[in-house]
Amino acid sequence: MSLSGKQAWLLDEGKIVYGPVKMLPGKKDGPTPVGKWHVQYKEKLHHSTEFDGAPMPNSVFFAPGGIAFHEGSLSRYSAGCVHLSSAASLKFFTTLETGDEVQVVP
C-alpha cells in the first residue's frame, strides 16, 4: 500500500489482482508503520481493546502493536491501522492468508 497515495491493492505473483482501492492510514501522531510485514492473524469481528471496544470488522493484523487492515472510515484517520471500505476490507480479509507479505511504502 502507498501511504502518500492513500491506496492499497492486492497482488499475486507480482500482478495486481484487486485495486487500487482508497484507504486511510494512521494519523501523524499514530502513523501506520512503513516496511515489509507478514499477516499475523485475521479476525472477522474484532473489537478494539484500546478504543473502548470499537468494532473493527474484517481485521487482518500485520504489524506490531495490533496494526491491521479493517473496515473503517475513509474520512477519519486511524491510530495506526488501515481503514478500508466495507467491500475492500472483505476482499482483503478473504484473500490474505497468515504469512502473506504486506508492503507499506511512504
How high is the pLDDT of residue 51? Answer: 64
The pTM score is 0.91
Q: What is the pLDDT of residue 52?
A: 66
With beta carbons less than 8 A apart as the criterion, state whether 55 and 44 touch.
Answer: no
Spatial separation of the C-alpha atoms in residues 91 and 77, rounded to whole Å: 21
**Would you place residue 46 in the very low, low, confident or very high pLDDT band (cuts 50, 70, 90)?**
confident
Domain residue limits, the chain: 7-104
Assigned superfamily of 7-104: L,D-transpeptidase catalytic domain-like (2.40.440.10)
Q: Is 20 exposed, middle or buried (0-12, 13-18, 19+ CB in 10 A)?
A: middle
Strand 82-84 and strand 101-104: pairing?
unpaired
Mean pLDDT of 23-50: 91
